């Protein structure tokens, strides 16, 4: 399968990636090889096979509904570039 | 021409757990910004989600209440998108294998009657944080306290036919989750939100029209108004020769208009895949049986029982069962009072007026007290009028008991015929003019005499005894 420029554009937009020409070209080669591998897998007859949700043959262990995490906001916010009155500040997003 | 309107709702129910769905951070409302966002909620490197057992229990309880298929195994998926209030860059949700499968709700239609509405599915997911756009000089403030709050998203079939039906459905889900105790139902705190998918077509036999989705409706009224507005917009557009485009809209209640959401302009591509950090969730038969045993009486069943066993009118039964706290209170009042109808009148009248007046969440007046007050009306100790005064006194001072107050204030109803007869004679003697009018056939003047006598007894005269005595006495005067 051929990956088109517009496919790369869409994937970059979805993944928020800004790739230069060399990176785009490398990504295209990688993607074509990945898709080839997926195509090979897709050729196997899987009718009657239940899709695997998780590679481990186990089910979820649940947690009791209790408050166990103390939050040290100052410690967390020391990592953030910008905060104000306890809020994280980010470039404006408008709805 | 008339158009056929097709609506499907996605109702987000915030589950009433103490901690978040995948972390042990507190899930309480109204805390300082980011004071309840722990390392897991913030998506710090290496953090792993662990599912809250109560979120699973509540989702399954909801499934049982809507008679849904509950698959033995359900799976979490990652829904990938970028937004500043979603630290991980994906939301943990359920896509192909939700915890609650197909069920239904018997909707009481606004115009009367009942129609069964299909519920496609309900799935567990985590909420995102909150973005605040005001007052940060070109920046957006992010509060991640809400990130990781447990949500159950309930998706209906496109089987609702009007804005009013959609609002009724939303209300009924609201009542149901409160009965089940799985959501506090506080709409103004965002505990329930709703997205509406709306389309129109010329005839019910036509294929479905192109739909739009209105996001984030958090009140019954806004939901109804937003849908009405959107239906009108679509019809107008089509009748003018245009076509509806599939898009996501936000409703602005101030302007009563919908507008496209900018962030959704790119076609949605969430690239769901199974969440590798969580194993499949199993609901076993024993657990489901236990939950089924523990289900409370549901609103429809309670309403039917109130009508059948307590002989209440459909209106009263509906009113009293629309809030589980009210229903519980009423049942306790009725049990003490021994008179379901009189108890209903008091709960729907004085009690609900006082609750509204004081914007009270819980009743200061214990149900048993109100029940005993009603007993004293029934046994003739006090009149209805005095009972209202007593009600106010009890409301203000819940430590007093009905009987204490009756005794202390000497409020026992005067039913002693001899005493009342003497008073009646006095009033007749003192008001010859009104007696004359009565004799001339103006029987309405009877009310005047009753008023005078109530004044003389401070409202304590037994009204029935009084009326009889008065009529007899006046008849005698007339005969003379």
- What 3 state SS string does B316-333 have? HHHHHHCCHHHHHHHHHH
Find the residue in B nearest to A84 (Cα): B141
Is B140 close to A65, i.e. CB distance below 8 A? no
By residue count, chain B amounts to: 480
Q: What pLDDT is stored for residue B133 in this prediction?
A: 83
Contact residues on chain A for B50, CB-CB shorter than 8 A: 61-63
- Best mutation target among B16, B22, B24, B266 (most A Cβ atoms within 10 Å) is B24
To the question of pTM greater than 0.90 for the whole model, the response is no
- The domain segmentation of chain B, as residue ranges, is 4-286, 297-408, 417-479
Is B276 close to A54, i.e. CB distance below 8 A? yes
Are the C-beta atoms of residues B391 and B352 closer than 8 Å to each other?
no
Question: With bands split at pLDDT 50, 70 and 90, how would you rate the model's confidence at B458?
Answer: confident
Q: What pLDDT is stored for residue B382 in this prediction?
A: 82
Is A62 close to B56, i.e. CB distance below 8 A? yes
Q: What are the tokens at B130?
A: 């909150």
Is A69 close to B25, i.e. CB distance below 8 A? yes
Rounded to a whole number of angstroms, the distance from the CA of A57 to the nearest CA of chain B is 9
In 3D space, the residue among B233, B269, B265 whose CA is nearest the CA of residue B251 turns out to be B233
Is A66 close to B19, i.e. CB distance below 8 A? yes
Nearest Cβ partner for B269 among A14, A63, A64: A14
Are the C-beta atoms of residues B26 and A67 closer than 8 Å to each other?
yes
Is A66 close to B23, i.e. CB distance below 8 A? no
Q: How confident is the model over B172-225, as pLDDT tens digits?
A: 999 999 999 999 999 999 999 999 999 999 999 999 999 999 998 999 999 999
Q: How confident is the model over B96-127, as pLDDT tens digits?
A: 999 999 999 999 998 889 999 999 999 999 99
Q: What are the tokens at B176?
A: 């149901």
By residue count, chain A amounts to: 95
- What is the third-level CATH fold of B417-479? Arc Repressor Mutant, subunit A (1.10.10)
Q: How many CB atoms lie within 10 A of CB A17?
A: 12
CA distance A89 to B100: 38
Q: Say which residue the tokens 């107050």 belong to.
A: B405
Radius of gyration of chain B (CA): 30
């Amino acid at each position: 399968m051929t990956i088109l420029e517009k496919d790369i554009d869409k994937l970059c937009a979805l993944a928020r990636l800004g790739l230069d020409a060399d990176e785009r070209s490398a990504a295209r080669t990688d993607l074509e090889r990945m898709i080839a591998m997926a195509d090979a897998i897709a050729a196997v007859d899987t009718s009657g096979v239940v899709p695997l949700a998780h590679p481990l043959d186990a089910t979820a262990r649940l947690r009791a509904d209790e408050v166990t995490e103390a939050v040290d906001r100052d410690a967390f916010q020391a990592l953030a570039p910008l905060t104000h009155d306890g809020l994280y500040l980010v470039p404006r997003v408008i709805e | 021409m008339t158009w056929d309107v097709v609506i499907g709702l996605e109702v987000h129910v915030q589950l009433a757990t103490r901690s978040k769905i995948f972390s042990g951070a507190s899930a309480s409302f109204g805390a300082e910004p980011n004071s309840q966002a722990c390392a897991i909620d913030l998506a710090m490197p290496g953090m792993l989600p662990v599912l809250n057992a109560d979120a699973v229990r509540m989702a399954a309880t909801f499934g049982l209440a809507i008679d849904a298929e509950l698959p033995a195994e359900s799976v979490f998926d990652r829904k990938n998108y970028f937004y500043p209030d979603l630290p991980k860059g994906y939301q943990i949700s359920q896509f192909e294998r939700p915890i609650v499968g197909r069920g239904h709700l018997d909707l009481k239609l606004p115009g009367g009657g009942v129609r069964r509405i299909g519920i496609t599915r309900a799935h567990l997911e985590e909420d995102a944080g909150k973005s605040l756009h005001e007052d940060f000089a070109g920046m957006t403030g992010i509060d991640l306290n809400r990130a990781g709050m447990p949500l159950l998203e309930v998706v209906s079939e496109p089987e609702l036919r009007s804005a009013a039906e959609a609002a009724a459905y939303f209300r009924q889900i609201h009542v149901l989750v409160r009965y089940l105790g799985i959501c506090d139902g506080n709409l103004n705190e965002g505990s329930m939100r709703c997205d509406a998918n709306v389309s129109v077509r010329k005839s019910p036999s036509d294929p479905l029209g192109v739909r739009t989705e209105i996001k984030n409706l958090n009140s019954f009224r806004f939901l109804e108004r937003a849908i009405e507005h959107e239906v009108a917009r679509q019809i107008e557009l089509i009748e003018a020769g245009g076509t509806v485009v599939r898009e996501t809209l936000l409703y602005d209640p101030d302007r009563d208009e919908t507008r496209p959401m900018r962030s959704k302009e790119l076609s949605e591509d969430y690239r769901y895949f199974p969440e590798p950090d969580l194993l499949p969730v199993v609901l076993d038969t024993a657990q489901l049986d236990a939950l089924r045993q523990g289900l409370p009486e549901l609103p429809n069943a309670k309403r039917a029982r109130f009508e059948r066993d307590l002989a209440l009118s459909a209106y009263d039964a509906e009113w009293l069962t629309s809030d589980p706290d009210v229903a519980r209170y009423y049942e306790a009042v009725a049990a003490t009072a021994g008179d379901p109808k009189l108890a209903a009148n008091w709960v729907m009248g004085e009690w609900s007026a006082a609750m509204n007046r004081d914007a009270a969440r819980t009743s200061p007046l214990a149900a048993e007290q109100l029940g005993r007050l009603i007993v004293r009306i029934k046994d003739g100790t006090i009149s209805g009028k005095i009972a209202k005064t007593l009600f106010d006194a009890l409301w203000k001072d819940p430590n007093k008991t009905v009987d204490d107050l009756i005794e202390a204030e000497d409020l026992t109803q005067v039913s002693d015929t001899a005493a009342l007869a003497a008073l009646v004679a006095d009033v007749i003697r003192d008001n010859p003019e009104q007696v004359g009018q009565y004799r001339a056939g103006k029987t309405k003047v009877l009310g005047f005499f009753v008023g005078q006598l109530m004044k003389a007894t401070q409202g304590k005269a037994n009204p029935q005894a009084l009326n009889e005595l008065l009529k007899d006495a006046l008849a005698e005067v007339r005969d003379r």
